[in-house]
A = this chain, B = another copy of it.
Amino acid sequence: MIETEISRVILEEYNRRLLEHLENDVVIVGAGPAGLAAGYYLAKAGIKTTILEKKLSIGGGIWGGAAGLNVIVVQDKDILDEFEMTAKRQKGLYVIDAIEFAAALAYKAKKVGAEIFNLMEAEDIILKTEAVEGVVVNGTAINIAGLHVDPFCISSKYVIDATGHPAEVVNMLKKRRPELFPKGIQESFMDVETAEAGVVEKAGEIFPGLYVAGMSVCAVFNLPRMGPIFGGMLKSGKKVAELINEKIQSADA
């Protein structure tokens, strides 16, 4: 029956992909701008990368632009060119349609081979000795439904927290190691210029095996918040991808 055949090919394909990605080079938590950018550059470099997104759709805070007006801003054009996005120059800034921005990031990341699982929620990290070795995940729907159900595990050499403002993965570490974060995990007051620079500069490894990219950088380093300007997000993701790539190359060498 064609109805069960469709079910069958979907189940087989999904399971094949999920089983293949139970072990990874890199797991990125969060498919917002920083996570998708990191995933794009890592996958493009041939690194086995899985992006976990807890929502049904990817894109994080991109879709709503500012206050639900679906337009966002970036400051330089080169990274837009990489993703073939069409922007418009206005008062020294580039404005771009939020939907195109989100769609292009996901489309390009998939094209270079990043694997994305949506509706999948990281709820903890695997940490046996002093290094993060993967994440503990469960279905988002299971969690929304409030069901009492055990999770499963996805391992990776490196985990990137690209969950944005809440810095969810870093908070899993903080939950049992609060002493590592004496100043707390919280962004500072709005200041776009400081934030755009800092989110790239400070992106990197903050604990063995754990990297931060995008707004979680601001949260961890108490940098300012920045609003609907997304260039720093992409560069932050790109920088983390480069740092991990170098490490893997030198480890392989």
Contact = CB atoms under 8 A, between A and B. Distances in A.
A243 interface: no
Interface in A162-214: 175-176, 186, 188-194
B19 A152 contact: no
Contacts of A71: 9-10, 13-14, 17
A148 B15 contact: no
Interface SS majority for chain A: mixed
Contact of A227 (B61, B102, B104, B136): B136
Contact of A145 (B17, B106, B141): B141
Given A3-B192, A4-B23, A126-B189, 19 more contacts: A2-B192, A2-B193, A3-B126, A4-B153, A4-B155, A10-B66, A10-B95, A13-B95, A64-B147, A66-B149, A67-B139, A68-B142, A100-B106, A102-B103, A104-B107, A124-B189, A124-B225, A127-B191, A145-B145
Interface stretch (A110-118, A234-242, A244-252): A110-118
B13 A67 contact: no
A232 interface: no
30 contacts: A1-B23, A3-B126, A3-B191, A7-B154, A8-B19, A10-B73, A11-B22, A13-B90, A14-B69, A15-B15, A56-B64, A56-B149, A57-B57, A64-B119, A64-B147, A66-B150, A67-B137, A70-B116, A70-B118, A86-B110, A99-B116, A103-B107, A127-B191, A128-B191, A139-B139, A141-B141, A141-B147, A144-B144, A150-B227, A176-B186
A78 interface: no
Interface of A: 1-15, 17-19, 22-23, 56-61, 63-73, 86, 88, 90-93, 95, 97-100, 102-104, 106-107, 110-111, 116-119, 124-128, 133-134, 136-142, 144-145, 147-155, 175-176, 186, 188-194, 224-225, 227-229
A131 B15 CA distance: 32
Contacts of A19: 8, 11-12
Q: How many copies does the complex hold?
A: 8
Contacts of A175: 186
A22 B6 contact: no
A66 B12 contact: no
A117 B57 contact: no
